[in-house]
Structure 1
């Protein structure tokens, strides 16, 4: 099983192909199988790599370190140890926050481009920010459900994620991936990620950026994702008409085309 020791945690990853390295970063409490179509198809032309955060997927279930800044530090250690340079980061949902946090901590040296998929500048509904999708009441309810009925939360997340009910195969994949994060990990990272705010970071993203949204997004509005594109200088925006929150699985061919075109033009 391929893994790297990063800041005291054993992190699982998968890697295929050769060429420009594209590093895929999953969403909160998910894993790299959400990028199965990308790892397979884009590896014909690029070096595709996907990384499970600590506590997620097949990585070590550490007791501590479940914050977006620590995940970004783990990413830095992973890139250094794999000697990866001029990478394109593809962050889906919370993965976009991890990419923005990485840029905030370490800058963009070694980052060739960025793809941010279905994420707002902050998940939280601050008084001066209309695009957040959670508040303290909703967050409290979510954290309580994590501790009282962990698998019911997983099932609910599946129902809210897709535009159309997924196939049995995809549903099994998603349920298996999301259920791999134990409740203590879920509680820690769900709270931490929910209150992060990158509005002041986005204007400093100085690498080519593609911002993607699903037209039938249920987690956040298309306007919330467009707001990200507006805040990042010279960012491109692409809408996936037949997707909810997971265009990587809902429209894999279209998503792969968009990423391949973006990377090839860098």
Structure 2
């Protein structure tokens, strides 16, 4: 198919989508207003994106991508403990772990490393190629080499961050023989694509493979246009974030807005270039590296992006792992039910330290 012909098809699709958004935007705004009205909001004054750190640095990967990293140092005068390294998921950033970072900083017992994945948050975009999981595993390795060159580690990954840890285990299994003392896998998947298609709409789920080249072409041709349209349709984005990210019927509006803000920082071009990676993710063999590593698996019982079946399949490969299913929670379980996740995380860390 010629580029001009393909551009015409893409333009028609985008035009139809824009028309649908335009006709429904007033309705969506009314729904958002009703959704926020009368809802108790404990996080209205929460300092999202404003947590302190002791060091901020840029780690440059082998392919030249600049990765934004923040380090929080311990304040308690205790014996050496593992460094905690947090790896966030798709269309999010290090702010995913806001409440875990806040709680653990207050305890002051652990050194913590946070970073934004390539193409997310304040990290640079990959200039060429796909955002493949081995590349994300190499990014994690580069961050570790720069910030934790030696000593024990505990890896915490949410969603695509958990997949990144699996890719890292596949590339560097020796780390799990002596350095990685524990793993926390939150709302993630080892590759159960055929059953659930990672929560993408049914139509895309059925024709995802053939559709991906068209999606990539669409974003190359019209990515900036789609980005501008997405900003204009923030109310619709807010509703979709609440629907697919949360399990409670009326979550904190401020929390939904924060997650939607993280989503909106990821360009459509970056989103499209990650899609093929998520569709082809298959890392169950890599879990063999974690067999002797203490692991806890956490998932929300109403997760629509990586449903409970994904975590149960990981548990089947890691039968000695601890399994925690959080009631009334969706995909961003560590934000939506922070107290429960923090309690699980703290208990897990204390066991490892002991």
Normalising by structure 1, what TM-score? 0.88
- 1:2-21 equivalences in 2 (<5 Å): 2-7=57-62, 8-18=64-74, 19-21=81-83
Contact 1:121 1:228 in 2 (8 A): yes
Deviation at 1:177, TM superposition (A): 1.3
Q: Which of 229, 238, 247 does residue 163 from structure 1 map onto?
A: 247
Q: Can you give the 5+ residue segments of structure 2 that lack an aligned partner in the other structure?
A: 1-55, 75-80
Partner SS state of residue 200, structure 1 = helix
- RMSD over aligned CA atoms reads 2.5
Contact 1:39 1:49 in 2 (8 A): no
Contact 2:241 2:260 in 1 (8 A): no
- Match of residue 110 from structure 1: 179
Instruction: Extract structure 1 runs of 4+ deviating beyond 3 A.
Output: 130-136, 138-150, 152-155
- Match of residue 42 from structure 1: 104
- Match of residue 167 from structure 2: 101
Q: Which of 190, 211, 226 does residue 312 from structure 2 map onto?
A: 226
- 1:124-139 equivalences in 2 (<5 Å): 124-125=193-194, 130=195, 132-133=197-198, 135-138=205-208
Moved more, 201-210 or 142-151: 142-151
Deviation at 1:157, TM superposition (A): 4.3
Once residues 158 and 75 of structure 1 are traced to their aligned partners in structure 2, the CA distance between those partners, rounded to angstroms, is 30
Partner SS state of residue 144, structure 2 = helix
- Match of residue 126 from structure 2: 62
Partner SS state of residue 293, structure 2 = coil
Deviation at 1:233, TM superposition (A): 4.5
Once residues 49 and 55 of structure 1 are traced to their aligned partners in structure 2, the CA distance between those partners, rounded to angstroms, is 18
Once residues 154 and 230 of structure 1 are traced to their aligned partners in structure 2, the CA distance between those partners, rounded to angstroms, is 35
Contact 2:169 2:287 in 1 (8 A): no
Is residue 2:259 matched to residue 1:204?
A: no
Is residue 2:174 matched to residue 1:119?
A: no
Normalising by structure 2, what TM-score? 0.68
1:134-187 C-alpha deviation (Å, 9 max, x unpaired): 635256389479657453695534421111244232223212211222222111
Moved more, 132-141 or 228-237: 132-141
More helix by share: 2
Partner SS state of residue 197, structure 1 = coil
Contact 1:16 1:48 in 2 (8 A): yes
